[in-house]
Amino acid sequence: MGRVDVSVVVPVRDEEGTIAALLDSLLAQTRRPEEIVIVDGGSRDCTVKIIEEYARKDSRIRLIWTDGAFPGEGRNLGVQVASHDVIAFTDAGIRLNSRWLEKLCEPVEQDETVDVVYGHLEPITDTFFTECAALAYVPAPTEHERERIRAPSIASCLMKRAVWESVGGFPPFRASEDLIFMEAIAQGNYKIAYAPGAIVYWRIAPGWGATFRRFASYSRHNLLAGRARHWHYGVARMYGAAAVFFALAVVHSPLWAVVPFIGLVGRALSIAYRKRGAFVFHDTFRPKRLLYLTGLLVLIDAATAWGFCVWVCKDRLRGSSAPQAPSPEPSPRGRG
């Protein structure tokens, strides 16, 4: 195909602490994007103001404002107004490697039959807590074409507009919309390539409270998206088995209560073993790290249960369906 023109599409909301780093890394790319479309989902902080300041300095930046769009809806609006037929996606809370877009474009520019390119995602592990959190829930890299890469991820990908159109765009859910979209791509007749050098650095939840809130929200919205079998069923089976042993501890012997704790420790050790060497730190089996990992697993399970309770009380009992983000006419702001 030769050189292709690329529109980068980014959904954002309330990202005043991270949006500047994302825009700086986009503008510092070795392969400059022809257009940057940022769709704001109704920020209540200074996100829009910061983006407008950047747009005044660089005409490639287009800001689309909505009263409230979920990430998938924001991406759909961004693609609809994008000027080019090759779309690169990334997300808020991300910093890009300087060669990110260059590496994403290479497979498409070298082979016109390539439809989708997935890059690599790397969690930012700048504290002991985030190191342990990465162990707990960030997938380890897998082998693709003799390269180790943590993919697929919408936060680091590029595709032809025709793929987005034929899949039907992103579904209007608050969470799991990216997984549903990528599953549709995987089931279609598309040629997929991988670009390990297209690296995005993702800032994960920085503390216990933020982790709980994030996973409670994910839990509820995954249920709203009808994906309980992908997450909640497994957690329910695990704690159902634990409940049997606690019941035995009550009616037979307290020693039965030890079994679930052994299972929890075994779960943490199994995760640590499978992900050893997957991140930059090497003391995977350090006792303190294993203690944090075990605590995070329990916290995420508790957040899963809380999200389920919220879903039952706010959605299931009231008979409501998945909350739909409004789909207003996008309002262009800034320049471009």
- CA–CA distance, 204 with 246 (Å, rounded to integer): 34
The per-residue pLDDT for 241 is 95
Tell me how far apart the terminal alpha carbons of the chain are, to the nearest angstrom: 26
What CATH superfamily classification does 6-204 receive? Answer: Spore Coat Polysaccharide Biosynthesis Protein SpsA; Chain A (3.90.550.10)
Query: How does pLDDT run across 44-91, given as a tens digit for each residue?
Result: 999 999 999 999 999 999 999 998 889 999 999 999 999 999 999 999
Burial 29-55 (b: 16+ CB within 10 A, else e): bebebebbbbbbbbbeeebbebbeebb
Report residues of the chain scoring pLDDT below 70.
1, 319-336
> Nearest CA to 296 among 137, 148, 60?
137
Q: The pTM is what? A: 0.88
Any idea where the domains of the chain sit in the sequence? 6-204, 208-316
Peptide linkage before 287 cis (omega within 30 of 0)? no
Task: Work out whether strand 331-334 and strand 61-65 pair parallel, antiparallel, or are unpaired.
Answer: antiparallel
Q: In what order do the strands lie in the sheet with 157-160?
A: 94-96, 192-202, 116-123, 157-160, 86-89, 6-12, 35-40, 61-65, 331-334
Q: Are 126 and 203 in contact (CB under 8 A)?
A: no
